[in-house]
Structure 1
Amino acid sequence: MTKGLEQHQDAGALRLGTARGRWVIAATTLGSGMALLDGTVVNVALPRIGTDLGASIAALQWTVNAYLLTLAGLILLGGSLGDRFGRRRIYLIGVAWFALASALCAVAPNVGVLIGARALQGIGGALLTPGSLAMLQATFHPDDRSGAVGVWSGFGGIAAAVGPFLGGWLVDGPGWRWIFLINVPLAALVIAVTTRHVPESRDEQASGHFDVRGAVLAALALTGVTYALTEGGRGFSALAGVAGLLLGAAFVVAERRSPEPMLPPELFSSRLFTAVNLVTLCVYGAFSGIFLLLMVQLQTVSGFAPLVAGLALLPITLLMLAFSGRAGQFGRRVGPRLPLTLGPLVCAAGVLLMLRIGPSSSYWLGVLPAVVVLGCGMTVLVAPLTATVLAAVEDRRAGIASGVNNAAARAAGLLAVAALPALSGLSGDSYQVPTEVDAAFRTAMLICAALLTTGALLAALTIRNPRTPAPTPDCTWYCDSTNPPLD
């Protein structure tokens, strides 16, 4: 009882330079890093998973999308639960849930069980992901919060850099099941450190009302549309798609009528907020498609080992880690319109360079130039995009604004992973046939380049620079290449 009281009193007063402050940083970075690692290593392992489990391309899509579905649908609800019942408590539940689901993924006897376990993993991710940064904001003294978030973001960049290398090494060595099994001891460490060193915090003004109806409608709508896109929109899948669209409309109506909606409609009264989220849908949809199919292309067509294929994306993380802070400062000086227009165009150029990747491509001449150009574009884009989202709303709505933007990015990735293989001509087990993969990859990269160009045009036409520059947020050092940060 006394220890719990002391921990609660520590909330909002902890200093970064103390031993306990360092433990809190360790607990939050290890937990968020666990989820970040999982997001980067699975794509590397997909070809080997498909071969070992005899899975079709649709089953591999669901291996990715089952996780994204539950994560995107429940991540805003997870943040609300933490505010109401205690951020540390919900974070610990999320970490434990994620570990148990990871263990189930590791022992999955067939692809159906793997898909179900991945959906459970997404629930754990939705509980732990918002809590990581929220605990830092609530625990540290206001003077140290910026430094704490900077350290957290830097370690997140390291996790993103290590992820592809670790995934490739595990797939090449002990096997793909270890990309999930490794989460179990890591989660045990996170639980031990968090329980001992992280104080509890909550929003004392939280009403206890949760928009469960909105979360369920959002998840079901995404499921219906995703199923239709994955299965090609024929027969029952067409009905599922229509049902998904109707449920999406019901979600909008429910959010307008809810006294405390998960997705406050008034946020979209800001033209800037709406515009930036439309740009997010385009660019993060493209990124998810690129990272998924590039791994298949490199392993199936170019003959790269999983380890080498995983390392192919390392320059992107290094560029973002080294220069995202400067990109954020650049965006602050010139306004968001230029970086949000220029960044996607540079990314599109990098994607077009990927058309040179084929059966006889070398890493240094074929892959590296394209990846470097893509990384430069992402570095220019990501930090100003996050800053613009936060600047588009009042300070008190910053958390929900960044949560909505994060959910939009995940939903875009979900839909892209569902639609791109079918649009590019991959079906059944054709992902194991080099000639078919090569043709589909080229089509998919043209689609992704078009999405990025569309994002650039949206930014140029709809985003206006504010009269007074917005402050650069703490998250400008965030280096996850697949999702913007949660504030």
Structure 2
Amino acid sequence: MKFTVKSGGADPRWILVSLSLSMLLSSLGTSIANVGLPTLAQALNTSFQAVQWVVIAYLLAITTSIIALGRLGDRLGRRRLLLAGIALFTLASALCALAPNIGLLFAARIVQGLGAAVMMAMTMALVGETLGKDNTGRAMGMLGTMSAIGTALGPSLGGALIFGFGWRAMFLINLPVGLLAFILAYRYLPTPAQAPQKERARFDYPGTLLLGLTLASYALSMTLGRGDFGWLNLLLLLGAALGIGLFIWLENGTASPLIHLTLFRQPGLSAGLMMSLLVMAVMMTTLVVGPFYLTHGLGLAVAQAGLAMSTGPITAAVVGVPAGRLVDKLGAQKMTAVGLVILATGAGVMSMMSIRQGILGYVAPLCVITLGYALFQVANNTALLKDASPERRGLISGMINLSRNLGLITGASAMGALFMFASNTADINAAGAAAVTAGMRFTYGAAALLALAALGIALGGRALMARYSAD
């Protein structure tokens, strides 16, 4: 893979390696903890519902902070902030491993999530800054591959570490990887020729706080209650809606807003973020429905189900780099549409599968779905960041990651509720194979409709962008 470096004279291959390690760490931080939840509940003498917040706290920290951190990178320098994020993530991983109780583990995971948010936002923003527009697609493909590897590797690596060394090892493993990522980033990421231009106006602290509270309210409304949408969920959702209105009012009246709302007048940006949200809601279907269908519908053991589900991330890891090359060669807009067509086709085929097709009837469409997702993700991220102005790359990168997280959170709630509804049971663990299969087919049918909606946005967005450019 040949790259031409944009600035600094550093080896572009090592630049990409350092950025890829940061992306690997952030994705590994999410997936490795899931497999350890039962062990944590026993070791820390707490309920399973309580330890679920070990995962939720990490995701909440990322969701509520990533926009502000992306904006901060634009102001203070992305290389400097990335190094700080890697250091923070690594230190927080050590604190997680040393935590004597569930409360301190929650606190350490929040700090770890802040470090992960920095790494997610800065790695994507630094692609265009250090490698140039011509290499953006291939670099995004590599970052997507590392994210998929981290997601696929997390459960198996976490299980092996817990079995061999105890639950603290699944956090300690981040220390040597984090140290290596810091050394490589410090050594190979080029220092900007000029110091970042600091705006005279103050950083938008009120807007940052309000947006964080609004996103936290929305995320909590979607995750509290273990699938039961009660009064507290409704109040939190209404609070989020009120927060959005207040945020828009506040940003329109401040001299240095956190987000310039005029950005959303660009049809390409608005369409790209909405498509990302819809596609991530579709991908959450594989995580919500997959375990229940494979174990309750097909009767697989948990280990077998985990192996079957890992084919999705493995597919994404394999096709990530080739997808990036296709995007650079054929164009981001065209490949976005192609990816969405493949994604919708895979979900549609999955909605017609039954127990008679066995495990192949689930794995084959899952690979098609993941192939479409990998193509879409690389193309959409490339389109959004390739032509972004240098002073706003961090902000746009943060907005991309925010839309993905909101899609995951929304999908977990909405797709989970659809699955329960279509399975026609109050306790999914007691549901029979026929009920689970009916729920699977209905939910994937809805996922196909979401993918088609994203395709409609992609095609409509192209028409709007043509008109926008003509004007």
TM-score (norm 2): 0.77
Classify 1:355/1:92 alpha carbon distance in 2 versus 1 (closer, same or farther; 3 Å): farther
Structure 2 spans left out of the alignment, 5+ residues: 467-471
Classify 1:319/1:298 alpha carbon distance in 2 versus 1 (closer, same or farther; 3 Å): same
How far residue 78 of structure 1 moved from its aligned partner, in angstroms, is 1.5
Classify 1:85/1:441 alpha carbon distance in 2 versus 1 (closer, same or farther; 3 Å): farther
Tell me whether 204-213 or 291-300 shows the greater mean CA deviation. Answer: 291-300
SS in 1 for 2:302: coil
Classify 1:265/1:147 alpha carbon distance in 2 versus 1 (closer, same or farther; 3 Å): closer
CA distance in 2, matches of 1:441, 1:250: 44
Classify 1:77/1:275 alpha carbon distance in 2 versus 1 (closer, same or farther; 3 Å): same
Classify 1:244/1:81 alpha carbon distance in 2 versus 1 (closer, same or farther; 3 Å): same
SS in 2 for 1:131: helix
Classify 1:148/1:164 alpha carbon distance in 2 versus 1 (closer, same or farther; 3 Å): same
Give the aligned partner of residue 227 of structure 1: 220
Classify 1:104/1:130 alpha carbon distance in 2 versus 1 (closer, same or farther; 3 Å): same
Q: Compute the RMSD of aligned alpha carbons.
A: 4.2
Classify 1:408/1:82 alpha carbon distance in 2 versus 1 (closer, same or farther; 3 Å): same
How far residue 177 of structure 1 moved from its aligned partner, in angstroms, is 4.1
Q: Is the 8 A contact 1:101 1:120 kept in 2?
A: yes
Structure 2 residue corresponding to 1:117, chosen from 108, 116, 126: 108
Tell me the alpha carbon deviations over residues 22-58 of structure 1, each in whole angstroms, 9 at most, x when there is no partner. 5544433222221122234344555665676677675
Give the aligned partner of residue 482 of structure 1: none
Matches within 5 A, 1:429-444: 434-436=429-431, 443=439
Give the aligned partner of residue 304 of structure 1: 302
Tell me whether 301-310 or 33-42 shows the greater mean CA deviation. Answer: 301-310
Classify 1:148/1:345 alpha carbon distance in 2 versus 1 (closer, same or farther; 3 Å): closer
Give the aligned partner of residue 182 of structure 1: 173
Classify 1:421/1:89 alpha carbon distance in 2 versus 1 (closer, same or farther; 3 Å): same
Q: Is the 8 A contact 1:335 1:465 kept in 2?
A: no
Give the aligned partner of residue 378 of structure 2: 383
Give the aligned partner of residue 214 of structure 1: 207
Q: Are 1:35 and 2:26 an aligned pair?
A: yes
> Residue 206 of structure 1 aligns to which amino acid in structure 2?
K
CA distance in 1, matches of 2:354, 2:167: 28
Q: Are 1:205 and 2:197 an aligned pair?
A: yes
Tell me the alpha carbon deviations over residues 233-272 of structure 1, each in whole angstroms, 9 at most, x when there is no partner. 4244433332222122212222222333233211221334
Q: Are 1:63 and 2:61 an aligned pair?
A: no
Classify 1:459/1:93 alpha carbon distance in 2 versus 1 (closer, same or farther; 3 Å): same
Matches within 5 A, 1:40-439: 40-46=31-37, 59=50, 62-108=53-99, 112-135=103-126, 137-139=128-130, 146-147=134-135, 150=138, 153-154=141-142, 157-158=145-146, 160-161=148-149, 163-165=151-153, 167-172=155-160, 173-174=163-164, 175-201=166-192, 204-207=196-199, 209-229=202-222, 230-231=224-225, 232-295=228-291, 298=294, 302-305=300-303, 308=307, 311-321=310-320, 323-325=322-324, 327-328=326-327, 332=331, 335=334, 338-339=337-338, 341-349=340-348, 351-352=350-351, 356=355, 365-390=360-385, 400-421=395-416, 424-425=419-420, 434-436=429-431
Percent identity of equivalent pairs: 23
In the comparison of the two structures, how many residue pairs are matched?
A: 447
Classify 1:146/1:281 alpha carbon distance in 2 versus 1 (closer, same or farther; 3 Å): same
Q: Is the 8 A contact 2:341 2:372 kept in 1?
A: yes
Classify 1:468/1:461 alpha carbon distance in 2 versus 1 (closer, same or farther; 3 Å): closer
Classify 1:251/1:65 alpha carbon distance in 2 versus 1 (closer, same or farther; 3 Å): farther
CA distance in 1, matches of 2:58, 2:186: 26
SS in 2 for 1:261: coil
How far residue 165 of structure 1 moved from its aligned partner, in angstroms, is 3.5
How far residue 95 of structure 1 moved from its aligned partner, in angstroms, is 1.2
How far residue 283 of structure 1 moved from its aligned partner, in angstroms, is 1.4
CA distance in 1, matches of 2:410, 2:255: 29
Tell me the alpha carbon deviations over residues 75-97 of structure 1, each in whole angstroms, 9 at most, x when there is no partner. 22222323333333322221122
CA distance in 2, matches of 1:337, 1:374: 14
How far residue 171 of structure 1 moved from its aligned partner, in angstroms, is 0.7
CA distance in 2, matches of 1:266, 1:226: 25
Tell me the alpha carbon deviations over residues 177-225 of structure 1, each in whole angstroms, 9 at most, x when there is no partner. 4332211221122233434554433753231642332232222122222
SS in 2 for 1:383: helix
CA distance in 2, matches of 1:24, 1:297: 42
CA distance in 1, matches of 2:58, 2:195: 28
Q: Is the 8 A contact 2:137 2:328 kept in 1?
A: no
Tell me the alpha carbon deviations over residues 357-388 of structure 1, each in whole angstroms, 9 at most, x when there is no partner. 9xxx96x5254213222123224433333344
Give the aligned partner of residue 469 of structure 2: none
Q: Is the 8 A contact 2:30 2:58 kept in 1?
A: no
CA distance in 1, matches of 2:354, 2:130: 48
CA distance in 1, matches of 2:10, 2:261: 37
SS in 2 for 1:464: helix
SS in 2 for 1:258: coil
SS in 1 for 2:351: helix
Q: Is the 8 A contact 1:226 1:418 kept in 2?
A: no
Structure 1 spans left out of the alignment, 5+ residues: 1-9, 471-487
How far residue 123 of structure 1 moved from its aligned partner, in angstroms, is 0.8
CA distance in 2, matches of 1:59, 1:346: 38
